């Protein structure tokens, strides 16, 4: 993805053998030993992109609009704006 730089976003690229399902357990372990109790969310940008492309293919006559207030993550917004 052109224009994405790790320092712009708080994201992690999973090592081989790990899945998105492993991340909540890792995050819970980190938070349980820390005073940092900030909210977090986990998203699979590949899944977001696949669903968006599926929408465009299946409902080509309907223009999708993304409600940025639901998730204003720059990574998510940039992923959807590349289409």
8 Å CB contact between 55 and 64 = yes
Task: Summarize pLDDT for 58-82 with one digit per residue, the tens.
Answer: 999 999 888 888 888 888 888 888 7
Tell me what pLDDT residue 33 has: 82
Give the Cα separation of 13 and 10 in Å (integer): 10
pLDDT at site 8: 54
pLDDT of residue 1: 41
Cβ proximity of 9 and 74 under 8 Å: yes
pTM of the model: 0.61
DSSP 16-51: TT--TTHHHHHHHHHHHTSS---------HHHHHHH
How confident is the model over 11-50, as pLDDT tens digits? 667 778 887 778 888 888 888 888 877 777 777 888 889 9
Please tell me the chain's helix, strand, coil percentages from 3-state DSSP, rounded to the nearest 5: 45, 0, 55
């Amino acid at each position: 993805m052109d224009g994405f730089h790790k320092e712009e976003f708080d994201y992690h690229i999973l090592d081989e053998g790990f899945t998105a399902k492993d991340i909540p357990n890792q995050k819970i372990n980190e938070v349980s030993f820390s005073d940092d109790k900030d909210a977090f969310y986990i998203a699979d940008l590949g899944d977001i992109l696949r669903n968006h492309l599926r929408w465009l293919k299946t409902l080509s006559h309907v223009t999708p609009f993304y409600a940025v207030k639901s998730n204003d993550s720059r990574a998510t917004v940039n992923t959807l704006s590349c289409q």
